[in-house]
Amino acid sequence: MKFIIKLFPEITIKSSPVRKQLVKQLRRNIRTVCRPLDESIEVTGKWDMLDVQTSSDEPSDVAAIADRLSCIPGIHQILEVAEYPLGTMDEMLEIVRPIFAEQLEGKTFCVRAKRGGHHNFTSTDLERYIGGELNQTTGAAGVSLKNPDVKVEIEVKNNRWFLITRRHPGLGGYPMGTQEPVLSLISGGFDSTVSSFLMMKRGLNTHFCFFNLGGHAHELAVKEVAYYLWDRYGASHRVRFVTIPFEGVVEEILTKIDNSYMGVILKRMMLRAASKTAELMHIDAIVTGESIAQVSSQTLPNLAVIDKVTDRLVFRPLATMDKQEIISVARQIGTEEFAKSIPEYCAVISKNPTTRAKPEKVEKEEGFFDFSVLEAAIENRRNVSVADIIADDLSREQVEVTNELAQDDIIIDIRHPTEEEIKPLKLDGREIVVMPFYQLRTKFPELDKSRHYLLYCDKGVMSQLHAMHLRDEGHSNVGVYQPDEIDNRKNKYK
């Protein structure tokens, strides 16, 4: 199958050297992301579009590749196309008619043609001929040039022509790796996941910094969503997940800081720790999920006081978005269900928060704070690759992983519904429960506690993270099913 990749429009208006650099990086990113699905995938093209050629025409393989392409920053649109040598318009009609005959039954349609090169016909000639013949020889309801039910799209390039069979919207933005890296503060809630996504979409290699306020279960939950974001939208590049233990910092604030200033000072401590971490990682910018006036610590006076503790650039991509807009984006990108199940630990810090923090008052309150506690938290941070995120937890807790099934084992397919629909898991004689990862926390406790369950996902990573999380919550009857093919694929593309 052949795909034509249309570039994000802002790429097309760049100067020639910049454009070449962006397109070169996009080609590399496409290969990196799609090669685990098709080792022989080819990506070519330099200027206004890219061609992606896969080795399989199987519908499930094509759907999987299209799904991955739709999540790569820098792509405006993905066209599934069939390519043919250019012949006569009669020969073109004989190819188009059987492909679209069923779709046109009882529907209005139009034919749109684009042409490049020297030919003895115009685009309009082609549209009129193909459209007229389809109208007469199929069960179409007629031609509608303004609002057709079906579009038949043809592109002619020199001595080849392409029939567009399907269009997919792209993510937009710039190719990952063409902008500088950033460190995004992530708590797992709506705001931090959406702000991280927006930076990734803009082409910034986004590393994650997590302040642990709620113990191991909190950390596992945030790792799950961080891995999902990276795997879905940023897998072309390696990123880090930094965990900073902040329970001691919170305790110090709760026992020594005036109640009304707790929230502001907590944010200042987080920004100090993030700035030091970013410095050690050679990163110049920090990302937060703050939105102006959403909560008391996010008023302009408070944000100004918070920012005084760092000389790093602080990005707030959600600054002018309201909560419903943020939730809508979370729903679109697949992080809504994660966010719903993660408590807002920061929200319990202050009961009577100030909305106009005074710098002199903040400095006075911080005089009571033992900064060695903050230094110890920074010193005890853990920094792991998101690609290898489970290794950090396996050192503390073992999860059963098997490629063999016992007689009574029940498989739970936890993949996203889109992935499960593209390639359903089929195991002869085995009971398989389809339960997307975001439903596990609410639905797993309802299952028969006397049975043994094995979680399954495409790469074996999300299943291990969720199994650890369930075990951490007291469920001992859960493990991971990891077929040999997953092990082989992971080793092959390491």
Contact criterion met (CB below 8 Å) for 318 and 194: yes
3-state secondary structure of 308: coil
267 is in an annotated binding site: yes
Helical (H) or strand (E) element with 151: strand 150-157
Annotated ligand binding at 185? The verdict is yes
SS3 432: strand
Per the annotation, does 271 bind a ligand? no
The per-residue DSSP string of 348-399 comes to GS-SS--SS--HHHHHHHHTTS-HHHHHHHHHT-EEEEGGGTTHHHHTT---
Are 113 and 86 contacting, i.e. CB atoms less than 8 angstroms apart? no
CA 85 from centre of chain? 37
| Beta strand ranges found along 22-86 (DSSP E) | 42-44, 49-53, 75-85
Known binding residue 298? Answer is yes
Element (H, E) at 185: strand 182-185
In the chain, the amino acid numbered 491 is: N
Q: Check residue 299 and report its DSSP letter.
A: S
DSSP 257: S
- In whole angstroms, give the CA distance from residue 402 to residue 404: 5
Write down how long the chain is: 494
Q: Is 289 annotated as a binding residue?
A: yes
Strand partners, 154: 113, 163
- Token reading at 110: 């139009």
Q: How many CA atoms lie within 13 A of 435 on its CB side?
A: 21
Tokens encoding 216: 């191991």
From the candidates 34, 71, 346, 457, which is the catalytic residue?
457
Bridge-based pairing of strands 401-402 and 285-287 is unpaired
Residue in 461, 458, 451, 466 with CA at minimum distance from that of residue 425: 458
Q: Minimal CA–CA distance to 74: which of 140, 117, 10, 31?
A: 10
The whole-angstrom distance between residue 318's C-alpha and the CA centroid of its chain comes to 17
**How many of the other CB atoms lie within 10 Å of CB of 85?**
8
Tokens (6 digits) for 56: 């399989």
CA distance 299 to 309: 17
Helix (H, G, I), strand (E, B) or coil at 84: strand
Burial profile 7-21: b = 16 or more Cβ within 10 angstroms, e = fewer = bbeebeeeeeeebee
Mark whether 457 is an active-site residue.
yes
Nearby residues of 65 by Cβ (< 8 Å), 6 or more positions away: 1, 3, 34, 37, 38, 41, 52, 54
What are the binding residues for ATP?
A: 185-186, 267, 289, 298
Residues annotated as catalytic are 457
